[in-house]
Amino acid sequence: MTLMQPNLIQGQSMRLTATPRMIQAMTMLQMSAMELAHYIQDRALENPFLNVDSDAELPDGRDAAWARHPAGTAASGIDGFIDTMSAGSDSLEAELLSQLRIRGVQGRIYKLAAYLAGNVNEAGYLAVSLQEASLELGASAAELEAALRELQALEPAGVGARTLQECLELQIARDAAADPWAYAVVSRFLDELAGGRLQRIAEALAIPVERVKQSLAYIRTLNPRPGASYGHQAPQYVAPDAAIRWERERCAVVLNKRSVPKVVVHRAHAQLVALNDHPAVRRYAREHLQEAEWLVRCVEQRKATLLRVVEAVAGEQLSFLEQGRAALRPMNLRAIADKLGVDESTVSRAVSGKYVQTPHGIFELKSLFTNGLQTQSGHAASTESVKERIRRAIAEEDASRPLSDQQITDLLAGEGIRISRRTVMKYREELRILSSKLRSRAK
């Protein structure tokens, strides 16, 4: 199916002419699996000659079973829970998980802390008791207390608290410039403070009322809802459009057949209508039958194009598939378009909103396209690989002496990657990693 043909017009200029059907084909190529599934269902309601497989369902969270677990396996316990959990990239949970990794929390404590992070509510408070977590995960009280300490050491200060009192205490303890009486006031007299009984607090602490008022002024600067500044999203389950796997030491691409409902032309209806002698009925049947046949062709062409694009991407990113994100190679849309002999816009539409399962997890397909930075050896390093090197350097740093942006710049230069300190700072912020000063305070 040719989507678009250029027609030569006056002079040497070119004009691309697209029919409504060609536009439909391009639009369907660009749709995500969910959008296409709904689009097919809507068209089937309007066209009696379109038959959607009754066994096919719109993609939903249950498709995560295909995405997250190999056939014949199932998630269980804390390991399974963490494997099926994926936070939105701008959510508080995603920020907490990122900080846990940077702090170097590992093993079972990391998994327990990640579970607790997933149970932090929009205000930043822990919404599950340690007793409940112990029963659900089979973890000891000591393990969960250790995991909670890791969670409560993260930014924003006060996150993971179980009560307002604990939230304020965590913030005061973290603040080197805190009012000297604030912790005592909050930990012992929060009810009196809320009731305005300042004289009673002053008498109990043997300090002037004016001193209590100064503490109150400081306490009012604290944040009773530390998580409110973050978007809070429920765990997101993504059913990938394709999977890249190693089979007999070769890279193979498989499309996820469940991501889009199977649609076919209902030939039996077409044959019945064809027997009708009424011209208007026959015209209606002819037009809708052609529309149905075209939509089925578009769906099949979309599958074929997506398969070719993912195969081409896999061929260019073998090092990533073997070693992970740090080994991503620079790659752009033009390179894949030239390799396939198609227009760059076709590749752009094919990767838009699509996800691919790899040996290293599920990635948005377009995230595998990355710019390159020149190294001293003459080879190009992808932006993502440089970010991963920055992430790894910070994860491995001495907690008592966090690396500054300039030190990271020098470290990269020693490895042949020459970028400015400002670029390092930009990449660090894009990774949502705190500055060395704030990391030192957090640790």
pLDDT at 287 over 90: no
Residues 6+ apart with CB under 8 A from 240: 66, 67, 256, 259, 355, 356, 357, 362
Q: Which pLDDT score is estimated for 88?
A: 45
Q: Helix or strand or coil: residue 331?
A: strand
Phi then psi for 412, rounded to 5 degrees?
Answer: -65, -40
Domains 92-160 and 381-440 fall in the same CATH topology: yes
Dihedral sign from CA coordinates of 378, 326, 439, 403 = negative
Classify 92-160 by CATH class. Answer: mainly alpha
Mean pLDDT of 143-170: 93
Q: Give the pLDDT of residue 359.
A: 86
Q: Quick one: what percent of the chain has pLDDT higher than 70?
A: 80
Mean pLDDT, the chain, as a whole number?
80
pLDDT digits (tens, 9 = 90+) for 205-221: 999 999 999 999 999 99
Which residues, 6 or more positions from 49, have their beta carbon under 8 angstroms from its beta carbon? Answer: 265, 266, 269, 270, 285, 288, 289, 291, 292
The structural domains of the chain, with segments of one domain joined by +, span 92-160, 163-230, 242-370, 381-440
Closest CA to 158 of 230, 216, 81, 211: 230
Instruction: Give the H or E element holding residue 81.
Output: helix 77-83
Cβ proximity of 121 and 227 under 8 Å = yes
**Rounded CA separation 223/264 (Å):** 58
**Could you give the C-alpha distances from 220 to 19, 114, 166, 199, 201, in angstroms and in order?**
64, 30, 15, 18, 16
Mean pLDDT of 90-104: 85
Question: Mind spelling out the 3-state secondary structure of 224-274?
Answer: CCCCCCCECCCCCCCCCCEEEEEECCEEEEEECCCCCCCEEECHHHHHHHH
Its sign, for the CA torsion 405, 407, 412, 413, is positive
Q: What is the mean pLDDT of residues 234-263?
A: 81
Q: Any idea which architecture 381-440 has in CATH?
A: Orthogonal Bundle (1.10)
* 152-178: average pLDDT: 92
Taking the CB of residue 381, how many other CB atoms lie within 10 A of it?
24
Q: How many CB atoms lie within 10 A of CB 207?
A: 16
Q: Give 298's Cβ-side CA count (13 Å radius).
A: 23
